[in-house]
């Protein structure tokens, strides 16, 4: 199939997607909001008064969910390379999480407080070369894990998106080395054809 035809096919699937339509109807910024809501309905991760960090937060669907479920109580800090329209109750940093200057700004925004929940829906720019893309995914995932280990409260949690394939088992092993509990989550809102899954790690060792 030619590239232009593939693009048209993807666009058609996207606009007909149930969760895309629901996100538009309900005012969520992305269909990803439903993934977090479905996971949170099961695991009760978001509670008023928490400190939450959202890595790779644009366009803001997960920040919206966090702000809604925390009821304006607590602190939410989001960071992304891309711009994000402001959300009430969310401190947004536009910067590259992989760079020291952005990490320093993020740490400053925490105001010395430990984090209760680190969310990461980050994904690299995709090249189409599977091995190279997988390596980029897990390079970001390792940075997210490092941040979580250094900033989470003892009973805090990390919820992170990864893709099954090369690096998956090694990353789960790294999570188990740092956390007491590690579980996989596959929300209904994830597309059937996607290799993505979410890993939930809680309780620092």
What residues are labeled active site?
A: 161
Count other Cβ atoms within 10 Å, centred on residue 106: 20
Separation CA 79–CA 37 (nearest Å):
20
Reported in sequence order, the residue ranges of 44-173 that DSSP labels E, i.e. its strands, are: 50-55, 74-80, 90-94, 115-120, 152-163
Separation CA 163–CA 141 (nearest Å):
10
Torsion, CA 173, CA 178, CA 183, CA 184, rounded to 10:
-60
Residues in the chain: 205
> 90-94 and 115-120 as β-strands: parallel, antiparallel, unpaired?
unpaired
């Amino acid at each position: 199939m030619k590239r232009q035809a593939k693009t048209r096919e993807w666009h058609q699937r996207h606009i007909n997607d149930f969760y895309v339509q629901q996100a538009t109807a309900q005012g969520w910024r992305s269909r990803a909001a439903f993934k977090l809501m479905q996971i949170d309905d099961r695991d009760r991760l978001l509670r008023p008064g928490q400190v939450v960090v959202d890595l790779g937060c644009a366009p803001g669907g997960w920040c919206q969910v966090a702000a809604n479920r925390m009821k304006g109580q607590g602190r939410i800090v989001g960071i992304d390379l891309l711009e994000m329209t402001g959300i009430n109750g969310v401190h947004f940093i536009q910067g590259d999480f992989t760079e020291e200057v952005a990490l320093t700004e993020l740490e400053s925004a925490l105001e010395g407080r430990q984090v209760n929940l680190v969310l990461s829906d980050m994904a690299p720019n995709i090249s189409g070369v599977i091995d190279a893309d997988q390596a980029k995914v897990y390079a970001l995932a390792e940075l997210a894990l490092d941040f979580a280990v250094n900033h989470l409260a003892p009973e805090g949690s990390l919820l992170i998106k990864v893709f099954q394939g090369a690096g998956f088992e090694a990353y789960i092993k790294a999570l188990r080395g740092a956390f007491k509990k590690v579980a996989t989550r596959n929300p209904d809102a994830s597309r059937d054809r996607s290799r993505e899954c979410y890993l939930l790690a809680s309780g620092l060792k």
